[in-house]
Structure 1
Amino acid sequence: MGGRLPALIIKELLALFKDKKSRMAVIVPPILQLLIFGYAATFDLEHAALAIFNEDNGSFSRELVARFERSSGFELVGFVHSETHIAPLLDAQQALLVLRIGEQCSAQVAQDESCPIQVLIDGRNSNTAMLALNSVRTIVTEFNQEKAQLRGAGLPAHLTMRAWFNPNLESRWFIVPGIIALLAMIVTLVVTALSVAREREAGTFDQLLVTPLRPWEILIGKAMPGLIVGVGEASLIIAVTVFWFKIPLMGKLSVLYPALIIYVLSIIGVGLMISSLCATLQQALLGAFLFIVPAVILSGFSTPIANMPAFMQTLTYLDPMRYFLSIVRRVFLEGAGIEYFIHDLWPMSLIALVTLSLATWLFRHRMY
């Protein structure tokens, strides 16, 4: 084998990085996607447009309104003074919700009676509406508890909540580590899927066949740039996650990187399979994105796997991103050691073995 294989690997890396556009495509888009996902993709509710229709001017209602005004989850867009103004606000989406406080609210509270409070909400975006309702419920519940304690009536039970692994329940802590798995897959798959197809389209693949390189050497030479780029890209994203987004890495890199390498190898196998089957760059790109979209959906990145139909849950076991997504989040948030996710590691290793074996078989049978 001598220096043939290292020379081929260097040749592949030069083909990938010598072109300025290729360098930009490998480095810039993943960083931009990380920043966009990190800031834009969130399950937290912030600055939801709130209008208030306060028919009562007593102290109780004023204190409750002040509590909503101070909340970072809501942005007060105005006060409503007539019931006829509520519908136009919601119809025009000038307010997400309207809080209506009953006319005799303070007087009823003073007499130890319940006070009617109504929430009128725009339900066109059901997810946002549910988040807003949960925030309203939390504010009103905490306000009720404080008032009950001040009156000396006491509460039958005092609820104290403590969130493990994510004390402030910030959705960014959940989303951004998952982006490591997402972007590592995209970059690795595109690099490897284009490798053989690029040679065929350029007409240089035939020249490669007449070299002393054996088929398995050519395969390794095509796979190594994907491994180097995939792990390097993931390392860059991990650094941005920790130092830019300030998401704590509770576990050890020595635990995370073996899983990352196995994950990248499984994606390389898929990429080489696509590359072996395609004759042009356009076909390779279409094949890559044909795999990326269902892989992301089935991984549980945005939709919990437990909420999927049973047959779809079965399909997720074929998705390597499903396993690495669980691993990277557990290492980041829990500080989990390898013994805690061995049940995710061995299926991902099996997928890597199968995809690389199939890629080798396809490569050998389609070389000539």
Structure 2
Amino acid sequence: MTLQRIWALAIKEFQALLRDKKSRFVIIVPPVIQLLVFSFAASFDLNHIQLAVYDEDQGGAASRLVARFAGSGHFSLTAPIHSETELRQRIETGQALMVLHLPADFSRRLHSGDGAPVQLILDGRNSNTAAIALSYANQIVDQFNTEWAQQHQRTGAPSVLVSRAWFNPNLISRWFIIPGVVGLLMLVVVMVVTALSVAREREQGTFDQLLVTPLHPAEILLGKALPGILIGLLEASVIVLIAVQFFQVPLLGSLLTLYSGIALFLLSATGVGLMISALAATLQQAVLGVFLFLVPAIILSGFATPIANMPPIVQDLTLLNPLRYFMVILRGVFLEGSSFQELQNQFWPLALIGSSTLVIAGWLFRHRMA
């Protein structure tokens, strides 16, 4: 195997893509259109709210307020919190979307009429979900205030709700949507480029010509993979630049961590695309294979619906989806400033999926060429 052979085949693939007007259109126009459409028009529905309670008061009034949250039908109480360190950990690890913090003097201030503060800490990474959860919480506290005022002949608001969103203080939905769009567009472009490559060769009758060349199956595999990886890397860089400069999405983490995730995701997406390409005999079959993979991959990625809200068997199925891990990496680097060490549990599954799919694709190539 020589690098020169692989590079020559990769150049041939680039030339084939650039000569074809339809291929140029698919690579350039749809990602830009989808970036704009998703960034401005995407919305989410709230299905489930994980609520943790940090009750330092332990009084009857605090228990009544917590009972209102538990009985509202919108919230599911998790294990209670006993320290501020545990509170931070629940939010950062995604174990709770919202934490209800009742200070030690809640009941005393409520009875004295001084205005008892209730702190609500939200996970702002999914801004739409956080905003809806905050709206539900406001309604519950308002109902509690009305009932308490009537029972104790008080005027004004007995309790005051003070909210704080982590990772997205102003709950700007664009900050949550656009990092996810980066992953979606990369997957679409890389899958299209790699999955159609061999099928196009077969339809044009040039695949047989490859078989009689000195190229080994592994060289053909790498030559087919390289254009998709390079195009995906370029697309990712352009979209990240647009997200930061045009849409003003904060990029709090390091570029090294971000591009490590991008490289591993491109490896996984390329492997899946080459598997489809090796199995498909025609362009129509390749397009159908891409469609059959893309739709479930997007739905099961956590882009629109939190994975925690899905049934357990579906959550297990998402473990095979490379886009699931890439979504966590993107939002972690953009919004949280997560380090490589904090995201290592997302990196190694991507590396495993990428290496496995490439090995399977290589075996399929050898099998189809035999």
What TM-score does the superposition give when structure 2 sets the normalisation length? 0.70
Q: Distance in 2 between matches of 1:311 and 1:28?
A: 37
Cα drift, residue 2 of structure 1: 5.7
8 Å Cα contact 2:138/2:161 also seen in 1: no
Alignment pair present for 1:200 and 2:202: yes
Give SS of 1:323's match.
Answer: helix
Corresponding residue number in structure 2 for 1:95: none
Aligned pairs, how many? 281
Give SS of 2:43's match.
Answer: coil
Cα drift, residue 227 of structure 1: 0.3
Corresponding residue number in structure 2 for 1:274: 276
Q: Against the structure 1 CA distance between its residues 217 and 132, is the aligned structure 2 distance closer, same or farther, given a 3 Å change threshold?
A: closer
8 Å Cα contact 1:8/1:221 also seen in 2: yes
Q: What amino acid does structure 2 have at the position aligned with 1:230?
A: G
Corresponding residue number in structure 2 for 1:67: none
8 Å Cα contact 1:269/1:359 also seen in 2: yes
Larger Rg: 1
Corresponding residue number in structure 1 for 2:177: 175
Cα drift, residue 319 of structure 1: 0.4
Which whole-Å deviations, capped at 9, do the CAs of 1:88-141 have from their partners, x for residues lacking one?
xxxxxxxxxxxxxxxxxxxxxxxxxxxxxxxxxxxxxxx99x959938957x95
Q: Against the structure 1 CA distance between its residues 137 and 156, is the aligned structure 2 distance closer, same or farther, given a 3 Å change threshold?
A: closer
Alignment pair present for 1:216 and 2:206: no
8 Å Cα contact 2:44/2:304 also seen in 1: no
Corresponding residue number in structure 2 for 1:332: 334
Corresponding residue number in structure 1 for 2:29: 28
Q: What amino acid does structure 2 have at the position aligned with 1:29?
A: P
Give SS of 2:163's match.
Answer: coil
**Which runs of no fewer than 5 residues in structure 1 stay unpaired?**
45-126
Q: Against the structure 1 CA distance between its residues 320 and 133, is the aligned structure 2 distance closer, same or farther, given a 3 Å change threshold?
A: closer
Q: Distance in 2 between matches of 1:132 and 1:202?
A: 55
Give 1:63-212 correspondences, 5 Å limit: 134=135, 155-212=157-214
Equivalent position to 1:304, from 283, 303, 306: 306
Cα drift, residue 42 of structure 1: 3.1
Cα drift, residue 298 of structure 1: 1.1
Cα drift, residue 155 of structure 1: 4.6
Q: Distance in 2 between matches of 1:353 and 1:15?
A: 27
8 Å Cα contact 1:178/1:328 also seen in 2: yes
Corresponding residue number in structure 2 for 1:234: 236
Q: Distance in 1 between matches of 2:244 and 2:23?
A: 27
Corresponding residue number in structure 2 for 1:316: 318
Give 1:31-42 correspondences, 5 Å limit: 31-42=32-43
Cα drift, residue 244 of structure 1: 1.4
8 Å Cα contact 1:43/1:171 also seen in 2: no
8 Å Cα contact 1:242/1:248 also seen in 2: yes
Cα drift, residue 5 of structure 1: 1.6
Q: Distance in 1 between matches of 2:137 and 2:275?
A: 51
**Percent identity over paired residues:** 59
Q: RMSD across aligned C-alpha pairs, in angstroms?
A: 2.9
Q: Distance in 1 between matches of 2:3 and 2:267?
A: 24
